[in-house]
Amino acid sequence: MLNYKPIPYGVSNYKRIVTENYYYVDKTDNISKLEETGKFLFLIRPRRFGKSSLLTVLECYYDLARANEFDTLFKGTYIHDQPTSEKNSYLILKFNFSHVDSDTDKVEESFHSHVSTVFYFFWKSYRDILGEEFFKLLELQKNAHQKLEFTLRYVGSIGHNVYVLIDEYDNFTNSILSTSGQSAYHEVTQGAGFLRFFFNLLKGAVDQVDSGVGRMFITGVSPVTMDDVTSGFNIGQSISLHPTFNELLGFTEQDVRELLVYYQTNANLVIADIEQDLALLKEWCGNYCFYRPHDSSAQTQVTMFNTDMILYLVQKRLQFGRYPDHLIDQNVRVDYGKLRHLIVIDRRLNGNFSYLSKIIEQQQTDLEQVVDSFPVERLTKPSNFVSLLYYFGLLSYTAQGRLGIPNQTVKQLMYSYLREGYEDIDVFNVDLIAFTGLMRRLAYQGDWQPVFQFLADEVEKQTAIRDYLTGEKVIQTFLLAYLNLTDYYTTRTEEEFGKGFVDLYLEPFWTKYKDLPYSYLIELKYIPRHAFTTTLLTEKLTEAETQLKQYAHNPVILKRQQSAKLICVALVFSGWELKGLKQV
């Protein structure tokens, strides 16, 4: 038997977490806050942030049929000692739309089948309350919306209330949108679409006297489907941007510290420096904030860690005594296919791709306000596209109230989106195996020139890419997309060193590559094609050399490079052409 609680990676069932003694971070203090906020709530969070787990907590807490399990399920939690008056007072009607097949030929049948299954087990759970008559009458209802309307009216008529829980409400509609397009999506969500009709009945039930709907909680990853099926979420209140619920899902820094200390103490997990581990996890899994700070103070902003990422990494650390070779859990990856239809139209990259590139260049956006609701037709509007990136977890609020890239995991994903975007429309395709070999030589032999010459030669051959390479920042981002193809280095851009901002710093990824012999400072200069002269090229190289020497002696750089030899490189581009490269 284990002498410590197992990590609930991939386990979202609260009852199982409790009864099988998994490690649990108590979030039950939020239950009373949710009750006070409203009866019909809507929450959007990125994938793998604990939405499903939250719904199982609510299910266990409010289920009338689980009243005798309350002590077993909640002993030791906040809510056990301070329960609300609504504890164990609802019949739970819970749907999970991730169970619906997104194949357009099967989706409606699959939806009705899922709903029918839910209603059958609803009756099984509350048979003593509902009676045999309920089931006989339910069988007469042919489709999902009829079963829903009948059930809510019936429950209300016998003096009870239902708590409706809908998990991943937009799972199958997002898949339809990304794979089959807007027309197929509209058939489901607009007009006489079956999903729109289902939500219309929920809306109507909320307004009816004795309808049986007491509370409702809906989760998803985007507000788009809700806007389309309800013409705006007017069944209730969205709490997605509410400061009170910033910590509802995910782990705080203190939560992660306590988790590390627990396994260090109880599982003999060897951690030389808790704070150092915490800093690494924050850089790769943290810095999420789900509301816009207004006082521009980093001290008052509470940032969150992605639940799945933390559990994945700590579990691997327990199993192997070290963090895994790949710090990015593929389960948190937002599939490029989910964004493809937004950035590629008629095999051409559109304005959203340019906007995505600009976000990567600046590491943040110019926009500060997330849009809380918009239909699918307006996804290509910049403010809505940026909002969607926020809801997907690719952007988050900084202490300054701006939307920025939260961590290294998201940066790596965004670099891959750039590469896949170029490849998707045949703008730029390179031999990635050959390039990976060159990156290994750069990392272990200090042979850096072939990496940049390879990319320059490919740009020279593949002329379509040239239209996208205009300006220093654009070229810098292009280079980052490919320098991040391997994970030898943590790439840092525009960090302040020695009263200046270095363009690219390749810091060895010490957690994985403890023997890496070289690190790199790269200063990038740009000359417009019409202004290029050899004299100006010399001036730019000299300017870069002066800056690099200044950066190289910065205490932060000296500390970060550890045992690696620092190589300083100056690159000068004119248009898309690499005109000068020099080791300082």
DSSP conformation class of 322: S
- Quick one: pLDDT at residue 354? 83
C-alpha pair distances (Å), 366 with each of 361, 362, 475? 12, 9, 20
Instruction: Decide: helix, strand or coil at residue 553.
Output: coil
Q: What is the pLDDT along the chain (584 residues), one digit of tens a residue?
A: 678 999 999 999 999 999 999 999 999 999 999 999 999 999 999 988 999 999 999 999 999 999 999 999 999 999 999 999 999 999 999 999 999 999 999 999 999 999 999 999 999 999 999 999 999 999 999 899 999 999 999 999 999 999 999 999 999 998 998 888 889 999 999 878 899 989 988 888 877 777 889 999 999 999 988 888 876 556 678 999 999 999 999 999 999 999 999 999 999 888 889 999 999 999 999 999 999 987 655 557 899 999 999 999 999 999 988 888 788 887 777 766 777 777 776 567 777 888 888 888 888 887 778 988 888 888 878 888 889 999 999 999 998 888 999 999 999 989 998 998 898 888 999 999 999 999 999 999 999 999 999 999 999 999 999 988 888 888 999 999 999 999 999 998 877 776 778 899 999 998 889 899 999 999 999 999 999 999 999 999 999 999 999 998 888 888 888 889 999 999 999 999 999 999 99
Output the six-digit token pair for 436: 């990976």
| Pure H helices in 380-485 | 382-391, 408-424, 432-445, 449-461, 472-483
- Quick one: pLDDT at residue 346? 59
Q: Which residues contact 564 (CB under 8 A, 6 or more apart)?
A: 508, 516, 517, 518, 519
Output the six-digit token pair for 358: 């600009």
Q: What's 342-371 look like in SS3?
A: HHEECCEECHHHHHHHHHHHHCECCCCCCC
- Residue indicated by tokens 């327990």: 318
- Quick one: pLDDT at residue 235? 67
Name which CATH class applies to 28-245: alpha beta
Rg over alpha carbons for the chain, rounded to the nearest Å, is: 27
Q: Please, are residues 380 and 182 in contact by the beta-carbon 8 Å criterion?
A: no
Q: In what order do the strands lie in the sheet with 565-574?
A: 489-492, 504-508, 518-527, 565-574, 577-583
- Quick one: pLDDT at residue 345? 65
- Residue indicated by tokens 């994970």: 487
Name the residue ranges covered by the structural domains of the chain.
28-245, 253-332, 334-425, 432-584
- Quick one: pLDDT at residue 231? 66
Please list the residues that pair with 489 across neighbouring strands: 508
